[in-house]
Amino acid sequence: MTTSALALAEDVRAGRRSAASVVEEHLEAIEAGDGAIGAFRLVTAERARREAAAVDAAVAAGRDPGPLAGVPVALKDNLCTRGVATTCASRILEGWLPPYDATVVRRLRAAGAVAVGKTNLDEFAMGSSTEHSAFGPTRNPRDPSRVPGGSSGGSAAAVAAGFAPLALGSDTGGSIRQPAALCGVVGLKPTYGRVSRYGLVAFASSLDQVGPLAATVADAAAAFEVIAGHDPADSTSVPDPVPSCRGVLDEGVAGLRVGVVAELADGAAPDVAARVAAAAEALAAAGAEVSPASVPAAVHGLSAYYLIAPAEASSNLARYDGVRYGLRVDGPEVTAMYGATRAAGFGPEVKRRIMLGTYALSAGYYDAYYGQAQRVRSLIIADFAAAYERFDLLLGPTSPTTAFPLGERADDPLRMYLSDVCTIPSNLAGHPALSLPYGSGDDGLPVGVQLLGPALAEPVLFRAAAVLEGSGR
Amino acid sequence: MTPGTEAGGPAGWEVVVGLEVHCELATATKLFCGCRNAFGDEPNTNVCPVCLGLPGSLPVLNRRAVELAVRLGLALGCEVRRSIFHRKNYFYPDMPKDYQVSQYDEPLNVGGALELPGGGRVRIARAHLEEDTGKTSHAGASGRIHGAQAALVDYNRAGVPLLEIVSEPDIASAAQARAYVNELREVIVSVGASDARMEEGSLRIDANVSVRPAGAPALGTRTEVKNLNSVRSLGRAVEHEAARQAALLTAGDRVVQETRHWDEDAGRTVALRSKEEAYDYRYFPEPDLVPLEPEAGWVAAVEAGLPPLPSARRRALERTPEPGLAADEAAAVVAAGADGLVVAAVAGGVEARVAVARALNEVAGRPGAAGLDPGAFAEVLAMEGAGELTPTQAKSVLARLLEGGGSPREAAAALGYESLGDDAVAAAVEAAAAAHPQEWARYAAGEDRLAGFFVGKVMAATGGRANGRVVTDLLDRRRG
């Protein structure tokens, strides 16, 4: 299925197709194809049918069914869905049914979108391959022997496989953009605070953002417009109104100053670097002023990230203690119960990061680790600010490589962590960044290029992405 | 203040105490969510995803809690600053997120002081906002943690706003520790920050206690004493702990820095955990909240809206006209919240002592006391002073005002205490004299004790509504 989300929505809104038939068609595709991919943790077929019927009823009654009327959406399984299991791909949340919907889930439903299921991820979004799911890996629809990337691998694979034209993911260090790149779809990590985090199960609170994955730039823009905007339930939410992104897609890039970031391209494989160069040429051909750029502190991003993110995670994941919900493994007293529950409930990557983060925050080490990482973060923000005095947006690779084989990095955490080296700086800066497919690598697998902008520059990113999308990859 | 100036400590030793007081703020809702902040409701009825720390939930700061915290901070003379929240990480079943959102090195209120009624000044290091925890009760055999079959947790209290008020170690005795808490409670209640009821846990105290040889400049090793459930417990615990430490040091032993539990029944403190066993709270800035930056104009407006503080109210009472009020009387009146009544009555010419007696004995603590208009109170006492009401009648009128309001004259009339007009009284006097000519002749001849006879007759004839002094005057005038 290659029909775009917006085309489907237009058909449903105009009464040319029923939401029910659109949803049914996608449910059938999932049923037929997801056994080989494993994109979904849970398919909520009955709910989807009910919601589709509601959309059709709205259309029949002459009510506005919303801009995403009848569009099937896949939700990463770290987004809370009322009454529907939300596992974060962890044993520790087994059996927990959230009593509320995440703000983004509510906004999608209000826009007429229909959630078809919850997608697989690395446990608590910690990973870059979706192999760290407690319930088994997801495979890359472009080559099932390869990983889809992660941690939003299930959402990226669902869009790439045509199971849903739209998906939501979360991005803490690249978890939307890297799987989008590896699966050949569009993925946006919005400005920190642009999309509400209420109902997103926290990994690293100062870095997490929810964003869309889609087959086309316009679909991603439409989904972004729906989920973005101030939410009083999230204190870090940005109050500014959401500008139109769909409305600027055809404005082109003439006169835009584009910097190709040396530090991001340096570590990329030659075939990936070649596609970044091709994208730079395409933007120049469309009238952008393209020149080299430097964000020197970005090279320290990975090190800072692997202190800040685990530190926050060690605190965010403390609540999974067996007392109130999820898994409980009993012990003779409460401390033993905590230990047994967490030992059984968390996988090795999550444990590794909890230990790292706990250590980084410990008395006597705080300043050397967490404090130092925050100082590096300030440097990165300053270097980006300097770059954005000269450039309207920056360009680089999304992932240093194309999709790698399952198992290749699963036992080599440091090598796995390097998968996010190009995406992490935007999270540390709180800036938006978008990955879109731009041709293939030597192995024939998709290559993603990444557009980076200053805070709230999403419309500019979408403009440039639309130019690249139309430039014949 | 100078430590060691009060009696009661172990001989040869100075007692040094600093107090950490947790005060639950009297907001309608919790610190980070819209759940009711109420004491005594059914367990786990005032809860939501936020205060239960459910995955994906996020805190949103309660403006009213900030306002009450700033009110109290300003009342304590603190500087209100830009502040941030931190997470204090430790595992405990009654803490839903297994961290407490608190303030650490950048608290909201910094550097105040509290003047004690009996003299002395205790500096306040800081007063910061944080969330309360839930409450655990141990079910089974003993009701205590050891041997319990199960633990039951009530999260109604989880997320209730607290202000932790940390004093400097300026308190030099058990008596002064009690005085500090009593005065702090006065301030808290007067600014409306909390009901400050220790018995309901809306005011909770931990005491840091150390001793040092009299005159020594350096502080001794301190212990932190917990489980102080009343001001009386605080006093006993400080006395006991100071004596315990002095005995240790006198015997050549040393004090171990540790947390100790006050056992009210046994009247002693017992070790809970040592410094080595203390939690590493791994504080770090709470990423889910933005910095709290009270705007200067708003802080000024909050300050301008503060009521007069207990110390100022006491000073106002002590300045009442001669013979004035003693410090302890003034303190009692302020503590009873009756100073507004006393000031109004004194301003109306009533003697301070009478005003205090009526305010404390007839009004303070009774239902409706808060609604009694000080002007009405003053008028009743003025009527009493003018002889229009007997003392007993004045008390009845006050009681009626507490019940129903209305004006003092309306209340007196409704009770049948309204004095008759002078003409009616004069007529009653004439009638009494005419009805008892022999007695009148004797009275007119100088037998003064018969005045009482005629007053009684007049009162009987008027149903007690004549003013006794007016009757006496008329009788005197009539006999010439």
Q: Give A142 to chain B, closest Cα distance, Å.
A: 32
Q: Is A355 on the interface with B (CB under 8 A)?
A: no
Q: Is B57 on the interface with A (CB under 8 A)?
A: yes
pLDDT score recorded for residue B6? 46
Report the range of poorest mean pLDDT among A436-450, B49-63, B314-328.
Answer: B314-328
pLDDT score recorded for residue B146? 59
B56 and A233: CB-CB below 8 Å?
A: no
pLDDT of B356-368, one tens digit each? 999 999 998 888 8
Contacting residues of A for B97, CB less than 8 Å apart? 318-319
Give the span between the Cα atoms of B71 and B188, in whole angstroms.
Answer: 9
Contacting residues of B for A79, CB less than 8 Å apart? 56
B282 and A80: CB-CB below 8 Å?
A: no
- The partner residue sitting opposite B96, judged by closest CB among A198, A319, A358, is A319
A235 and B93: CB-CB below 8 Å?
A: no
pLDDT at B215 over 60: yes
Q: Give B225 to chain A, closest Cα distance, Å.
A: 24
Q: Is A202 on the interface with B (CB under 8 A)?
A: yes
The mean of the pLDDT values for chain A is 96
Write down the ipTM of this complex: 0.96
Q: Is A93 on the interface with B (CB under 8 A)?
A: yes
pLDDT at B467 over 90: no
Most confidently predicted of A63-67, B198-202, B448-452: A63-67
Nearest residue of chain B to residue A124 (CA atoms): B55
Q: Is A361 on the interface with B (CB under 8 A)?
A: yes
Q: Please name the residues between 60 and 89 in chain A that touch chain B, using a CB distance below 8 Å.
A: 78-80, 86, 88
- The partner residue sitting opposite A200, judged by closest CB among B56, B87, B97, is B56
pLDDT score recorded for residue B148? 62
Candidates B47, B58, B135, B292, partner chain A, best to mutate (most A CBs within 10 A): B58
pLDDT score recorded for residue B111? 97
Contacting residues of A for B87, CB less than 8 Å apart? 315
Report the range of poorest mean pLDDT among A4-18, A329-343, B1-15, B436-450.
Answer: B1-15
pLDDT score recorded for residue A9? 98
Given a cut of 70, the residues of chain A with pLDDT beneath it are 1-2, 472-473
Q: Is A410 on the interface with B (CB under 8 A)?
A: no
Residue B21: band (very low, low, confident or very high) from pLDDT cuts 50, 70, 90? very high
Q: Is A99 on the interface with B (CB under 8 A)?
A: yes
Give percent above pLDDT 70 in chain B.
Answer: 94
Q: Give A236 to chain B, closest Cα distance, Å.
A: 6
Q: What is the mean pLDDT of residues B220-229?
A: 94
- The partner residue sitting opposite B282, judged by closest CB among A96, A236, A358, is A358
Residue B276: band (very low, low, confident or very high) from pLDDT cuts 50, 70, 90? low
Report the range of poorest mean pLDDT among A104-113, A446-455, B207-216, B418-427.
Answer: B418-427
